[in-house]
Structure formats: structure tokens, C-alpha cells
Structure 1
Amino acid sequence: MARKSSRKSTNGQNLVAKNNPRSPISEQYRTIRTNIQFSTVDTKVRSILVTSSSPSEGKSTTVGNLAVVFAQQGKKVLLVDTDLRRPTMQFAFDITNNTGLTNVLMKQTSLMEAVYRADEENLYVLPSGPIPPNPAELLASKAMDELVEQMYGEFDIVLFDSPPILAVTDAQILANRCDGTILVVRSAKSDKDEMRKAKELLDSVNANVLGAVLNRKKLKKQQYYYYQNK
């Protein structure tokens, strides 16, 4: 049975889709959700990796809000923090990170015992757990493959927050295991050569790149997020 946080979330200021669902920004996240659902006609997208080329581009904020809008649609959603080097989901959802993904992979606990039920209905969060000495090896393990299959049996859609793809190999490992990948790009910050290299790395592992999210771009009518389908 999933855990329930005993605390009311106070740190989720970036979860605008939860805190202010009628805002223009929340509407843009719903637009991204719709584009994802229509991005593949014949294949159902059950798992999505969200990554970026470099740190501080907004990937964790993006994946957190996407998880919220999918849950608001009535889908049973699992958000997994697979950034086993610098995890952040425990802050966004105000949960503890003593037990999480790494414990499940090491067979120290079960998936549903490690998962938290978020304040948002239908949304569940699996924090990273203790930071391991071998993140890439854990994510590439047979145990991870088996766990993803188990997640499919429990949830309608699984979203993975991963480290930046140029920093470590973790995102490439996960992209190969997911139905789709989204690359987050920060306006006026992301380097074009780095974005091109990130796309090449994803292509090298046959990742299904659904598109890119341009983050922190100020547009008319206070719409800050734009989704470009490939």
C-alpha cells in the first residue's frame, strides 16, 4: 500500500498546475499533455522520460507539472525520481527520501511500500531513495527492467525525471526503456550545440523523442511554455 505524507505540501511552489489550475501556464501544460497523447497514432505511450541537455533548464518542474495534469485527467500516474545523483522530487512534494527507488531496486522494500500518494488525486510519487555509488549500473540492471514492467501493472502512465543527458549516461539508459522522451530547453540559456548533442545522444540509443518543451519563454498573454512536436 502506498504511503501518505503526513505533511501538507509547502514547497511545491513550482507545481502551478496543482496550485493554480486555471492559470495560462497550467493550460500550456495541458496542451503538452494533449500533444503527447496525439504524438503517436498506433502506439500507446505508457512511460515518458523528461530530461534536458544541462542542469537548471527546468526539467524537474516540467515533469512535476505534467504528472499533475495527467492525474487531473483521471489517469493513475506514477512520478519517479531517477536522478540518483541530485534528486529533487522530495522537495517539490514535501516527502521524505529515506526510502525510494534505490531501495526497491536492491530488493529492500516493495514498489508500493516505497511509493507516496501525493495531495493530488491519482498522483503517486516514488522518490529516489538513498544516493547509490553506482547510479548508471542500477538503472541499467535487470531489476530496473522488471520494476518498469511492474509499474505498468499498477499505473496508467509513468513519468521519469532524469539527470541532464550531457552530464551522465543515466538519461540515455532510461530513454531506451521508455515509450517516449521529452527534452526541456530553457529560453535564452540553452546552448544550441548542447541541444544538438543531446538529440544525437538520444538518437544513438533509438529513443523516441516526442518533442521539446521551451521553458521560461515570455509570450503574449502571459503564456510561458511552448511545446513543439517533432
Structure 2
Amino acid sequence: MPASTSRNYALITEVNPKSPISEAYRALRTNIQFSSVDDPVKVIVVTSAQPEEGKSTTISNLAVTYAAEGKKVLLLDADLRKPTLHRYLSESNRLGLSNYLSGKYAVEDVVLDTKIANLSLITSGSIPPNPSELLSSKKMSALITQLKEDFDMVLIDSPPVLAVTDAQILSNIVDGTVLVVNHGKVKRDAARKAISQLTHAKAKVLGVVLNNKEMSKKESSYYYYYAQKD
């Protein structure tokens, strides 16, 4: 993705859908759709190798592009350690995924309708003492199955791969995983290690998004690399 001029929680695909950056997110959406024609991808994890690479910005804007197509979309914040998706959608994080997984609330209690048409949100909820255990629970797997039936697309934000095991856990129960890499910040060895760990967890890595790359006018406004199949 091209570099942005400032860091904030505004969604460019919402406020300026005709911009080159918004077009880049639509191109990413198209590439994901064509990445697995025989086995449609409905549930995707978006993660990064390390913190502060733009995974939450990427997944939030990607969700808006899917919703703009008329698809019924759910954004799920499974980063139970440092959640941010509620800020992008200007929603409360009082109740969310952790509250549901702890058994205190039903699914309908934590699904929020956002101001964006066709886009719903489940925030992370209260930060729990045992994130990995909650995400690896049978209840989490059952939730993914239910959401896959209720929505056309489910996009899941997870913690960075090299920081904790959460991304590997989630990638094992979804249709595909996209890795976001911040250009100029993350070394190639770190990106390779992240992909290796995801592959070891039997994740289906759809590709890698190169974020914050300054592009010339002659270059494409995004990079999207398909992962090589074994």
C-alpha cells in the first residue's frame, strides 16, 4: 500500500473512496477473491510480522471495500492484547470477543452495527489474562463456523506473528491469512520467519501486502505477492 501522510484512525476508503490508496485496497480485495477460485475465501486473518506495521489499518479499509460491494461483512478484533478496530469505527469496546468467549454474553450481544452500510463489528472486549487460551478454545472455533454462515465475509485482526502465538492459532481455523509488512521497517528475515511460522501452523498464506511504500506514478499503487504453494 502507498504511504499515508499521517497516522490516524480515519478510513480513507470511506472518506475518499476515489483516491489512489482506496483503489489499492480494492485491488487487494480483487486479488484475494482470485487467490482461491475453487475454494472461495470467506474468513481471513490479517496479521503482521511485528507491531506497528499497519495490519489494523489494512483490514479496516479492506472491510469497507467489501461492504461497498454489497457484501455482508463482519470485522472481528481478535487482538486481545492491543485492540484498535473499535477506534477506526468509533465504537465502544466495553463488550466484545473476550466477553463472549468467557461465556458471559451471547453472539448477538457483541455484534455491533457500524455507521458503514453492510459492515458489522465485534470488538475485542475486555483484555483477558489468557488470550491464547481463549482463541484456541472450542468456542472460538464454533464462533468462526457460525459467523461464516451469517456473513459473506469475516475479516479477523490478530496480534503480530513474531510476538505471540495468537496469529498461528487463528490462521489454522480460517480460510486464509494475509501478512502485512511495513516497507523499510521490517527486515526480510523477520518477514520470512513470520511466513515460516504461519506455514508451520498449517495456515493458508494468501499473500503479503507491502505497506507504506512510496511509489512513482509509473508503478502500481500496491504490491501483492502470492505465496508459493508447497
Q: Contact 1:187–1:216 (CA<8 Å) still a contact in 2?
A: yes
CA distance in 2, matches of 1:145, 1:214: 29
CA distance in 1, matches of 2:9, 2:224: 22
Deviant stretches of 4+, over 6 Å? none
Q: Contact 2:9–2:87 (CA<8 Å) still a contact in 1?
A: no
Question: Which of 123, 138, 142 in structure 2 is aligned with 1:127?
Answer: 123
State whether structure 2 residue 174 is matched by structure 1 residue 178.
yes
State whether structure 2 residue 154 is matched by structure 1 residue 158.
yes
Q: What is the DSSP-based 3-state SS (H/G/I as helix, E as strand, rest coil) of the residue aligned with 2:45?
A: strand
Question: Which of 203, 215, 225 in structure 1 is aligned with 2:222?
Answer: 225
When the two structures are superposed, what TM-score results if normalisation uses the length of structure 2? 0.92
Partner of 1:8: none
Residue 14 of structure 1, CA deviation: 3.6
State whether structure 2 residue 135 is matched by structure 1 residue 136.
no
Residue 12 of structure 1, CA deviation: 6.8
* Structure 2: runs of 5+ lacking an equivalent: 1-6
Q: Contact 1:24–1:223 (CA<8 Å) still a contact in 2?
A: no
Residue 224 of structure 1, CA deviation: 5.0
Residue 41 of structure 1, CA deviation: 1.9
Q: What is the DSSP-based 3-state SS (H/G/I as helix, E as strand, rest coil) of the residue aligned with 2:224?
A: strand
CA distance in 2, matches of 1:201, 1:14: 32
Residue 101 of structure 1, CA deviation: 0.4
State whether structure 2 residue 18 is matched by structure 1 residue 18.
no
Residue 149 of structure 1, CA deviation: 1.1
State whether structure 2 residue 82 is matched by structure 1 residue 115.
no
CA distance in 1, matches of 2:175, 2:40: 8
% of aligned pairs identical?
A: 51
Question: Which of 101, 104, 110 in structure 2 is aligned with 1:105?
Answer: 101
What RMSD, in angstroms, separates the aligned Cα atoms of the two structures?
Answer: 1.5
What is the number of equivalent residue pairs in this alignment? Answer: 220
Residue 220 of structure 1, CA deviation: 2.1
Residue 20 of structure 1, CA deviation: 0.6
Partner of 2:4: none
CA distance in 2, matches of 1:148, 1:82: 11
Residue 12 and residue 119 in structure 1: after superposition, are their counterparts in 2 closer, same or farther (change >3 A)? farther
**Residue type matched to 1:121 in 2?**
A
Residue 106 of structure 1, CA deviation: 1.7
Residue 117 of structure 1, CA deviation: 1.1
Q: Contact 2:50–2:162 (CA<8 Å) still a contact in 1?
A: yes
State whether structure 2 residue 69 is matched by structure 1 residue 69.
no
Residue 223 of structure 1, CA deviation: 6.3
CA distance in 2, matches of 1:99, 1:225: 35
CA distance in 2, matches of 1:41, 1:223: 24
CA distance in 2, matches of 1:158, 1:12: 24
CA distance in 2, matches of 1:188, 1:14: 23
CA distance in 2, matches of 1:21, 1:228: 24
* Structure 1: runs of 5+ lacking an equivalent: 1-10
CA distance in 1, matches of 2:220, 2:10: 15
Partner of 1:34: 30
State whether structure 2 residue 54 is matched by structure 1 residue 58.
yes
